[in-house]
Amino acid sequence: MKAVHFGAGNIGRGFVGLLLHDAGYEVVFADVDAALIGRLQAADRYVVHEVGPGGRDRVVDRFRAIDSATDASGLVAELTTADVATTAVGPRVLRFIAPHLLAALRARTDQLPPLVVMACENAINATDVLRDEIAALTDPEEWPTLAHRAVFANTAVDRIVPGQPGETGLDVTVEPFFEWAIERPPFGDAPPVIPDAHFVDDLAPYIERKLFTVNTGHAATAYLGYRLGYERISDALADPAVAAGVERALAETSALVVAKHGLDPEQQAGYRARILERFANPELPDTVERVGRQPLRKLSRKERFVGPATDLAERGMPVDGLLAAIGAALRFDVAADPEAVDLQAALRAEAAPAVVRDVMGVESGHPLFDSLVAVVGEAQADLGR
Ligand SMILES: NC(=O)c1ccc[n+]([C@@H]2O[C@H](COP(=O)([O-])OP(=O)(O)OC[C@H]3O[C@@H](n4cnc5c(N)ncnc54)[C@H](O)[C@@H]3O)[C@@H](O)[C@H]2O)c1
Ligand SMILES: O=P(O)(O)OC[C@@H](O)[C@@H](O)[C@H](O)[C@H](O)CO
């Protein structure tokens, strides 16, 4: 069995690559980072160090690597005979993966079982987005002749994998916890064998609970912590003011996922407590800059703050904790992060209602619009606008 995995970064090596390896797949990593690919090609193994209670070292071997920026034909040849193709490149990079998958679907024969395609990104229905990007590259007549050569399944992936210091090796430090939920219906009776993943009939509760609890809480910790000058996530969460702000935001998103998906409130409270323990893991060298990265993406309409806040406002439920976290996100001013630079430029150049429309995708007339305009206006006042 062979899997081609796009994105040999933190979650690629420390989670998806590891679980596919453990499931018996030969993993072919595809990445545009030439130095990283060179290191993978020169190595025959790397180690995933799980740090924290119950953690152990796990060895990944039987992998190969291919530079997808310079060897498109080699990549397509690998995909043409692969069983599985996964991604962990970031939701906004999926459109650059689509042409490779299209070329492979055109080259695959109907004698092979369909290629299993799963995007493992922090985004709702990322695999559907990838499928639509591929389909959009074809004529309407061609897509129906190719679609049966792949099975597209959405997934929810959860494991904290910090940036790796120095970025000169291959070993990865991760938390012991992980969860990989994959939707079952696209596979009919024959889901792929990945023992450490679990297949679910309806992914929506899993991905929304994950994104709006783990990622909302994580991003709130990062942005509130950044404002107070913290570098590490665990240090930020140890500050009572940050912890209280995170708790407020998570109380609101928990009320939403409980109301929307019929989750058990006590189980959701336990899930929330567990993720706060995970963030507080002192052995995990995670930073507010990594967790807060790409604030324009994180402030967009379907993402971890504005997504649940708009839904809550439409239901007449409280959103003050989320608004406070959004206010902190608007102050994320990290010169090394291009999206933070663009966000600060937008705050300086545009009127508050335009920022709410352009960055957050919320239009006037929406029940949250005026509150968002007020939060943006306060951040702009701090900038002297
Ligand atoms: N790190 C985590 O804790 C974590 C956990 C769950 C989900 N995720 C999600 O996984 C995805 C990746 O996150 P990460 O933390 O591993 O980021 P990362 O930056 O460590 O890795 C991304 C990798 O993708 C590569 N890449 C970029 N463009 C590419 C392209 N066109 N083709 C092939 N490779 C390309 C980069 O070179 C990099 O090696 C994101 O969607 C993230 O939200 C991350
Ligand atoms: O990857 P992002 O930028 O969407 O979010 C940053 C972190 O919250 C995220 O990577 C978490 O560590 C991960 O989602 C935990 O499963």
Q: Domains of the chain: which residue ranges?
A: 2-202, 205-382
CA-proximal residue: ligand 1, atom 15 (nearest)? 10
Ligand 1 pocket by Cβ (under 6 Å) = 6-12, 30-33, 36, 68, 88-91, 93, 96-97, 121-122, 157, 159-161
Which residue has its alpha carbon closest to ligand 2 atom 1?
Answer: 122
pLDDT in tens, the chain (385 residues): 999 999 999 999 999 999 999 999 999 999 999 999 999 999 999 999 999 999 999 999 999 999 999 999 999 999 999 999 999 999 999 999 999 999 999 999 999 999 999 999 999 999 999 999 999 999 989 999 999 999 999 999 999 999 987 767 999 999 999 999 999 999 998 999 999 999 999 999 999 999 999 999 999 999 999 999 999 999 999 999 999 999 999 999 999 999 999 999 999 999 999 999 999 999 999 999 999 999 999 999 999 999 999 999 999 999 999 999 999 999 999 999 999 999 999 999 999 999 999 999 999 999 999 999 999 999 999 998 8
Contact 129, 89 (CB under 8 A): no
- Which residues participate in the annotated binding site for NAD(+)? 3-14
Q: Which CATH class is domain 205-382?
A: mainly alpha
Q: Contact, 197 vs 22, CB < 8 A? A: no
Task: Evaluate: CB of 304 within 6 angstroms of ligand 2.
Answer: no
| CA-to-CA separations, 24 to 82, 85, 225, in angstroms, rounded | 13, 14, 41
Q: Which CATH homologous superfamily contains domain 2-202?
A: NAD(P)-binding Rossmann-like Domain (3.40.50.720)
The token duo for 324 is: 């406070």
Beta strands in 1-83 (DSSP E): 2-6, 26-31, 45-50, 57-61, 63-67
